Amino acid sequence: MLLSLCLGVTSIGSFLLANDTVSNNSTPKNPIKVVILLGPPGSGKGTQAVRLTKELGIPHISTGDLFRENISQNTDLGKRAKAFMNEGKLVPDELVLDMLFDRVSRSDCAKGYLLDGFPRTLPQAGALNKHLAADTDLIVLNLDVPDSVIVKRAEGRLTCKVCGNVHNRYFSPPEKEGVCDACQGELIQRPDDRTEVVQERLRVYHEQTQPLVEYYKKKGVLKTVDGTKSPDDVFLSLKAGLKSS
Ligand code: AMP
């Protein structure tokens, strides 16, 4: 009697276990991967984002690029964002959040995406947190670059009007002055790369974006990398950061 009772309990146990396994198999956990690239303006986020997204096979979502696209297409959003951008100020959250969440809801972001230039404020980070599913595989890569290096880089930065390729008159000059090596398009200084604008963007960064370093450190998802090294070395450190997450 006691034996059959024990057997009964055991078989109920194995039934439950088997059923658990079945339900896990039928709804497999498949968390999406979200990588946030954090760092001051001009810290190399754009360059590294292109390499990382190739490596990871996920799209590169840059809120700065989304705004620039809107400006070049003369959309309402572009018209509203332009003045803030040209002065080195942040575009207000109500313009950023809808644009960003709309973009990451597209099918190419279903398995994950890399965010470059977002979030830039604690309220933006809070909104993203609410938007992400609890099991999201989130990693924040922080590029550490001092202000003096940023100012020098931005002063020399030349962006291609046509393809967006970036040269630097000090560190990676084009073969022919004023002409993009990649597509022969015209190289220009972005309005927000002018020295006074860069100083303002750095002030805004320290005031509004830097607190995110502590925010993500507390969440245990932050990896900080020395962003003053060569682009190749920075990329290797970022990849190592991704692996150790
Ligand atoms: P970026 O190309 O990331 O340096 O962004 C260029 C400019 O776009 C910034 O200086 C801001 O004016 C605006 N911008 C880009 N992303 C954001 C964001 N997440 N929040 C507010 N403004 C942004």
pLDDT tens readout for residues 62-118: 999 999 999 999 999 999 999 999 888 999 999 999 999 999 999 999 999 999 999
Dihedral sign of CA atoms 57, 31, 109, 112 in order: negative
Q: How far is the CA of 11 from the centre of ligand 1 (A)?
A: 60
Testing ligand 1's pocket by substitution, the residue of 91, 102, 150 carrying the most ligand atoms inside 8 A of its CB is 91
Among 23-27, 52-56, 143-147, the range scoring the smallest mean pLDDT is 23-27
Q: Residues 133-192: pLDDT tens digits?
A: 999 999 999 999 999 999 988 889 999 999 888 899 988 899 999 999 999 999 999 888
Is 160 in contact with 185 (CB distance < 8 Å)?
yes
Separation of alpha carbons 208 and 97, rounded Å: 16
Catalytic residue among 68, 120, 153, 223: 120
Contacts with 134 (C-beta within 8 Å, 6 or more apart), sequence order = none
- The partner residues of 166 in beta bridges, in order of sequence, read 159
Using a 6 Å CB cutoff, which residues line ligand 1? 41, 62-64, 67, 84-85, 89-91, 96, 117-118, 120, 124, 192, 201
Q: pTM (2 decimals)?
A: 0.81
Testing ligand 1's pocket by substitution, the residue of 37, 43, 45, 67 carrying the most ligand atoms inside 8 A of its CB is 67
> Quick one: which atom of ligand 1 is closest to the CA of 89?
12
Q: How far is the CA of 43 from the centre of ligand 1 (A)?
A: 14
* 3-class secondary structure, 1: coil
Catalytic residue among 45, 68, 103, 153: 45
Catalytic residue among 68, 103, 157, 223: 157
Indicate the average pLDDT of the chain. 88
